[in-house]
Structure 1
Amino acid sequence: MQVVDPHVHLWDLGQVHLPWLSPASVAYSGDNRLLPRTFTPSELRAGAGDVEVLKVINVEANPQDAVAETRWLQSLADTTGYPQGIVALVDLAQPDAGTALAAHAESTNLRGIRQILNVHSNPLYDYVSRHYMQDTQWRANLRLLARHKLSFDLQIYPSQAPLAAEVIRENPDIPFILNHAGMWVDRTLTGWREWRNGLRLLAALPNVTVKISGLVMFDHLWTIESLRPCVLDAIDAFGVERACFASNFPIDGLHANYAELWHAYADIVASASPQEQRALFVSNAERIYRV
């Protein structure tokens, strides 16, 4: 099968420092000590099995030096052809965010920015312990993305969807890509309803799309049947034309191999038309990230 993978994390710890892997520890997503020290296009393709990876979008891996990460990724792209798109990290709460954006924009494959926004009352799931979307400086700098024609990868929990919707309404000229199908973190009936309601709230905004990925971070003993409701609900909310599948490798590789994950997604949408399947696995990601 052919895929365009719009959410991978390429790295070489000898080239770019990732503090969360130095040293690695156990997280809700799995045992990070088992992650490879090097995950480059050659490792990705070597582990892809029968999946033909046509193009990839690299999403920042929370590096110590974000501009250095982008420049390293661009050098990879210049020599290997991968990644075709780069989503870089910029701290939009900083007064010099505009300068950082300009530095990233020197790399021709830059397509977007991600700054992780996940806040949760349980420390196990809390990424940043700060409500960036309430910060006036952050919101002002977010608007700079439109000037550079960049998208924003939105990584939040369902409880943050109402505030995110407010931010998105203020920025109709910025494409937002919801990461990891909205991250259904609270595995209760109430949590499920909050997740579904959040999806539909965001899907009602025309400049939002969704990446269906990262599901096994919360479902380590996953089966096709356990993934099916999340996949189909996300597609139902956004429609086939505004959804795409992604691997979240190597993070999701802690609980699945690459081909196994892609074939699971393919099994879930096997009843879709060939055109719809092509959209979900290839053409939507190409359009969303302009690759």
Structure 2
Amino acid sequence: MTAAAERGGPPPAGTRPRLGFIGIGLMGTAMSLRLLERGWPLTVWNRERPALDPVLAAGASEAGCPREVAERSDIVLMCVLDTPAVEACVWGEQGVAEVGAGAGAGGGARLLIDFSTIDAGATRDFAARLRARTGMGWIDAPISGGPSAARQGALTAMVGGEAAELAAAAAVLADLAGNVTHMGPVGAGQVTKVVNQAIVGSGFIAMAEALHLAEAAGIDAAALPACLGGGLADSVLLQRIYPLMQRRAFDPPLGYARQLLKDLKAVKGFAHGLGLSLPGVENAAERFGAYVGQGNAMADIVSIIRLYEQERQAGGAAAEPLPVIDAHQHFWDLGENHHPWLCDAEPIPFRYGDYGALRRNYLPADYRADTARHRIAGTVHVEAEFDPANPVAETAWLERLAAREGLPTVCVAQARLDDPEVAAVLAAQAVRPMVRGIRHKPRAAARPEEARRGAPGSMDDPAWRRGYALLSKHGLSFDLQTPWWHLDAAHDLARDFPETQIIVNHTALPADRSVEGLRAWRAALAGLARAPNVALKISGLGLPGQPWPAAANVAVIRDAITLFGADRCLFASNYPVDSLVGSFDAIMDGFLQAIADRPEAERRQLLHDNAARLYRF
């Protein structure tokens, strides 16, 4: 049965089922706003609390967990990332299934509509178990069309489930989708979505390659959709997606590259289970896998054209340089966000002296210009002293930036470990998809002779340590910025919390380059290196008032690698902060000089592989 649902007005007041929506991401936000505009009462929940703001402002009410959504709804809608996410929302702690037996008879939900794209076999299993436990029905209705179509009620929905339950869901589906097709029993919608994603994933690659060919050949690439319209090459992809690629219009994103890669892998697995080989899908998965592997997991799917641009630019190179993950860099937009040290009139004491040159926006286009000579495969954004009153806002901004610009790849977020509210901040940061770790600079003495153990706010402070102890619960690493004269405390921290990975920032700040100063720095590093859960970022080696000292820094870099080993050191630029003391080229070239005599495998570790492992790229 195929039915483009009737388009009347909203259901009459008093007859509308109460709706709940779990998963307020790109699609969930657009669908929720559409339902609210159509007059549906809506209760919402999302794992990442800040994403709820637009729908709450539009009139939705908030639930504290998926179970509460089900208790306060007649029909639960769900749109989350993948099969494990659906399982967690339904069967996890405080999940939908905890609404109990008799759903629909005593005020709880009687039907769940899953708009996610997940495994068909898992869907059938989840549906049978949920009905047995609660009496609740299940419709799988994966969708296609993107956020813009959702806002217009013009999605395509591929539906699996019982006809009677589809009838109960018809009014809701009619307000979201212009094309609703019942493909069979539960699970049939997911199987149909597999076919859909085979077409879509391969189609995105076809559009990228057509554009790549047109631009390389020098024809008017923008005119192609009009030229080919009405012919056999015409399609929605050509008329809608190709122009976005051609204009490099990647914001707002249609979807994330990691999501389409996930779907293409699912298509491959499904086909292999049927004994089928699909070379076109295999190629699309390889292409998106290569793009995501360069650090573009959160980039718009339309931006896959960048992969072809990069390959074309590298085509004439004599010898391809090793890929680099910059393990420590920063972005800021001072017109949009508040960084007190950059925005406030009064400067702070700073190890490089006057930092007035940093009081300007620094965004991915600036970084790409600074790093143009080098093969940057990804970056780790480290918190940039954002407004401490709202540290999660910096993470949310970075996710939007990454979706639009392709950088950064992952981030180390802010949380003040001695803050009484740190548990809530860590929980909010940990669920953000880009977050890999936390940085909070512990209190430090200005000079070695002033160093004392046990100071408030230091690594010995019980309150600070209580916050630190929560990192392992969330699987977060810790970026430690402290001078070398506090590395004894860092060693004790690593010993007492062996499950937490520590990554020391800026080579432990060897600012004193006297013979005695470097000897003390080496001794402190050697002591810390005995802790197996500590790694070292080689960065921050500038000295105030002078250009980046290549000769002296090469020796420092070599000492650091000797002490920690090539498997626990990683390159980082600290850009744009270190632009105060040297160009990116000078810093990168100095590091390459320091490791030039090492085997290629070790150079690859230092430049790329260690960062990819430690920050879980």
- Give yes or no for TM over 0.5: yes
* Amino acid across the alignment from 1:85: V
Q: Distance in 1 between the 2:346 and 2:507 partners?
A: 26
1:2-151 to structure 2, matched below 5 A, reads: 2-22=323-343, 23=345, 25=347, 27-64=350-387, 65-117=390-442, 119-121=444-446, 131-151=457-477
Q: Tell me if 1:197 matches 2:527.
A: no
* CA contact 2:503–2:535 (8 Å) conserved in 1: yes
* From 490, 495, 503, the counterpart of 1:164: 490
* CA contact 1:217–1:252 (8 Å) conserved in 2: no
* CA contact 1:12–1:38 (8 Å) conserved in 2: yes
Q: Tell me if 1:250 matches 2:576.
A: yes
* CA contact 1:119–1:130 (8 Å) conserved in 2: no
* CA contact 1:24–1:33 (8 Å) conserved in 2: no
* CA contact 2:535–2:569 (8 Å) conserved in 1: yes
Q: Say if 1:175 and 1:240 are closer, same or farther in 2 by CA, change over 3 A.
A: same
Q: What residue ranges of structure 2 are gaps of 5+ in the alignment?
A: 1-320
* CA contact 2:544–2:581 (8 Å) conserved in 1: no
Deviation at 1:208, TM superposition (A): 0.4
Deviation at 1:218, TM superposition (A): 5.3
Q: Distance in 2 between the 1:130 and 1:195 partners?
A: 24
* CA contact 1:7–1:57 (8 Å) conserved in 2: yes
Q: Which protein has greater RCO, CA pairs closer than 8 Å, 6+ apart? A: 1
DSSP-derived class of the 1:211 partner: strand
DSSP-derived class of the 1:241 partner: coil
Q: Distance in 2 between the 1:79 and 1:134 partners?
A: 41
* CA contact 2:542–2:549 (8 Å) conserved in 1: no
Q: Distance in 1 between the 2:460 and 2:332 partners?
A: 31
* CA contact 2:395–2:429 (8 Å) conserved in 1: yes
* From 534, 539, 543, the counterpart of 1:208: 534
Deviation at 1:28, TM superposition (A): 2.5
Deviations 1:105-130, CA, capped at 9 Å, x for gaps: 231010000011252245xx99xx95
Deviations 1:10-61, CA, capped at 9 Å, x for gaps: 1111122111112374732142111152111121002213112110000011
* CA contact 1:49–1:258 (8 Å) conserved in 2: no
* CA contact 2:511–2:541 (8 Å) conserved in 1: no
Q: Distance in 2 between the 1:66 and 1:92 partners?
A: 12
Q: Considering only aligned residues, what root-mean-square deviation do their CA atoms show, in Å?
A: 2.0
* CA contact 2:542–2:581 (8 Å) conserved in 1: yes
Q: Distance in 2 between the 1:54 and 1:118 partners?
A: 34
Q: Distance in 2 between the 1:285 and 1:121 partners?
A: 29
1:227-242 to structure 2, matched below 5 A, reads: 227-242=553-568
DSSP-derived class of the 2:385 partner: coil
Q: Distance in 2 between the 1:191 and 1:148 partners?
A: 38
Task: Find the counterpart in structure 2 of residue 223 from structure 1.
Answer: 549
* Amino acid across the alignment from 1:290: R
Deviations 1:54-98, CA, capped at 9 Å, x for gaps: 100000111113211111111112222211111011111012101
Q: Distance in 2 between the 1:152 and 1:61 partners?
A: 15
Deviations 1:204-226, CA, capped at 9 Å, x for gaps: 11000000000014583333211
* Amino acid across the alignment from 1:5: D
Q: Say if 1:71 and 1:13 are closer, same or farther in 2 by CA, change over 3 A.
A: same
* CA contact 1:118–1:157 (8 Å) conserved in 2: no
User: In the comparison of the two structures, how many residue pairs are matched?
Assistant: 287
Task: Find the counterpart in structure 2 of residue 259 from structure 1.
Answer: 585
Deviations 1:202-250, CA, capped at 9 Å, x for gaps: 1111000000000014583333211012101110011001101100000
Q: What residue ranges of structure 1 are gaps of 5+ in the alignment?
A: none
Q: Distance in 2 between the 1:278 and 1:188 partners?
A: 31
Task: Find the counterpart in structure 1 of residue 116 from structure 2.
Answer: none
Deviation at 1:141, TM superposition (A): 1.4
DSSP-derived class of the 2:416 partner: coil
* CA contact 2:342–2:359 (8 Å) conserved in 1: no
* CA contact 1:209–1:242 (8 Å) conserved in 2: yes
Task: Find the counterpart in structure 2 of residue 152 from structure 1.
Answer: 478
* CA contact 2:381–2:411 (8 Å) conserved in 1: yes
Deviation at 1:191, TM superposition (A): 2.3
Deviation at 1:255, TM superposition (A): 1.5
DSSP-derived class of the 1:132 partner: coil
The percent of aligned pairs where both chains have the same amino acid is 36
* Amino acid across the alignment from 1:104: Q
Q: Distance in 1 between the 2:417 and 2:350 partners?
A: 26
Task: Find the counterpart in structure 1 of residue 594 from structure 2.
Answer: 268
* CA contact 1:9–1:58 (8 Å) conserved in 2: yes
DSSP-derived class of the 2:471 partner: helix
Q: Tell me if 1:278 matches 2:599.
A: no
* Amino acid across the alignment from 1:31: D
* Amino acid across the alignment from 2:341: W
Q: Distance in 2 between the 1:203 and 1:218 partners?
A: 28
Normalised by the size of structure 2, how large is the TM-score?
A: 0.45
Deviation at 1:150, TM superposition (A): 0.5
Moved more, 113-122 or 154-163: 113-122
